[in-house]
Structure 1
């Protein structure tokens, strides 16, 4: 009788371990407890949510601001820093064509806590700065970004 009880208990444990409810009933509460006790692995030590730079670059490259300025950008990410809650991403570029072309620094400012899970479109500010003089360039072009249009519903 004792051996059959042990076999029955082992069988019940195996069935429970292989069931789909294991994740919902046991592992999910364990993960939540671990997050409460140790914090999220991507959270900075200061308590503020810290998003990796690669995630900010991915968010930027999928944005309307990137697609609007992509004809000017000529490099990969050169530098990045944070200031007053903004993550600044620095790229090099060329503004103008032919003899009027000049090197510019293309600066994107994103919310430092924005990630793929942040609801809504991310707020992104763009600036062109002349690489030689440090003066702002083409402010009127940056205001002329096309508005997003929704797609027609096809029935």
Structure 2
């Protein structure tokens, strides 16, 4: 891990993360690589970025996989809607195929609070790992999603939706 609050969140961590992304670029899924390489995704000034956004909804969908009876091969997708930090639009994040997830809520009695920090990296099998830290005055939750890739769309309150990740 490189840039999470639990890592100390340092300039050196950002530099190490950028080097990691470039070194691993040929293995990164297209959507995740696009986000990790942008100059705005991790910046708090860009309205499209998830930093300080709030969870509006989350849905998990299971669907029949190819070639097997429906009870043997189910595929899972995860979709999040976040209200942007500037309260002027929604961010939709979709993980088309999820391999595993862990949602650990420490103190979510009044909500998750802010999407504080997140990191996109690869596991040993080359799958995308998305770790998210939710934060208020202290940590409220930590999510870990392992998926094939991520899709992101920005829906401003005024204007047309913008697909952020490549199709």
The TM-score bracket by the shorter chain reads 0.3 to 0.5
| TM-score of the superposed pair, with normalisation by structure 1 | 0.34
Structure with greater Cα Rg: 1
Higher RCO, 1 vs 2 (CA within 8 Å, ≥6 residues apart) = 2
Q: Which has the higher strand share?
A: 2
More helix by share: 1
